[in-house]
Structure formats: C-alpha cells, structure tokens
Amino acid sequence: MNKEQALSILEKYSPMPDEEDLTEEMIGEYASTIEYFGENPDSICIEPYYDDVQFGRLFWGI
C-alpha cells in the first residue's frame, strides 16, 4: 500500500457507514490504512481519522 491508496480507502469510507452496515472487508481495508499511516506517519491522515472519532464511528478503540 502507498499513501495514495490509503487516502483513497479513507475517502471511500467517508463518512464511515454505521457499525451494523460494515462488512469484514470494509473493516479490513480501513484497518490497513491505520497500519500504513502508523508505519508512515503523515499529517494528511489526521482529519479523516479525527472525523471518525469525533462522530463516534471508529469503533475498535483506536
């Protein structure tokens, strides 16, 4: 994965669907962006993640 792919996934799931509408595939893709940006920090990812936390949509406690 590269930065463009990770940002594309974040854009794809923005806004994040309600928890009951999430699939394992969606969760896996979103988690892969967390892993990518954890290994490759970039301030460009802060706003998409912040929006998910702000609205209570980031459900796995990160």
- Interacting residues of 15 by C-beta distance below 8 A, sequence separation 6+: 51, 52, 55, 57
Question: What residue segments make up the domains of the chain, in order of their start?
Answer: 3-54
Digit-coded pLDDT (tens) for 22-51: 899 999 999 999 999 999 999 998 888 877
Q: What is the model's pLDDT at position 50?
A: 77
Residue 47 CA: distances (Å) to CA of 21, 23, 24: 23, 23, 24
Q: How confident is the model at residue 19 (pLDDT cuts 50, 70, 90)?
A: confident
pTM: 0.77
Average pLDDT over residues 55-60: 52
